[in-house]
Amino acid sequence: MTKKKVLFICTHNSARSQMGEGYLNARYGDKYEAFSAGTEVTSVNPYAIKVMGEIGVDISGHRSKKIDEFFGVEMDILVTVCDSAKGACPMFPWAKEKIHAGFIDPSSAKGSEEEILSFFRNIRDEITEFIDVKFGRE
């Protein structure tokens, strides 16, 4: 069985798309091969690394990648996880299917360490639930 290729796209490729890539590969890696990229390159957010580690998904080795790295690479499914990246997707004609699932940017969280972690956990849980519903039944 050939794995379907899935590309998660977000603006900075630092949190939401990284969490999507990591979770899909960890949970459904027998059916899917996930990647992530951004319209801009930054670094993987340490809070994203921490909250994914809490559920047994290690994304500490991930790096932020620009969508340009995937130009010309055929993908079965392209998932935009933020509204600004959704606008960039018409420039990615190599995806057979495009899905938009907008999530709030956890990097905007303010407050104490625990408040920020709580915000990241909520977004992580929304993303993993979306993946479980969309990809777990296929």
pLDDT for 1: 73
User: Residue 88: inside a domain, yes or no?
Assistant: yes
Tokens of 84: 């600004």
pLDDT above 70 covers what percent of the chain? Answer: 93
pLDDT at residue 90 tops 70: no
Q: What domain range is 105 assigned to?
A: 4-132
Q: What is the DSSP string of 111-125?
A: SSHHHHHHHHHHHHH
User: Residue 16: inside a domain, yes or no?
Assistant: yes
Which residues are catalytic, by number? 10, 82, 89
d(CA 27, CA 31): 9
pLDDT at residue 84 tops 70: no
User: Residue 113: inside a domain, yes or no?
Assistant: yes
User: Residue 138: inside a domain, yes or no?
Assistant: no
- Sorting pLDDT into bands at 50, 70 and 90, what band is 87? low
- Sorting pLDDT into bands at 50, 70 and 90, what band is 82? confident
How would you list the strands of the sheet with 75-80, edge to edge?
Answer: 32-38, 4-10, 75-80, 95-100
Q: How many domains does the chain have?
A: 1
CATH number at residue 80: 3.40.50.2300
User: Residue 127: inside a domain, yes or no?
Assistant: yes
Q: What is the pLDDT of residues 25-62, one digit of tens each?
A: 999 999 999 999 998 889 999 999 999 999 999 999 99
User: Residue 137: inside a domain, yes or no?
Assistant: no
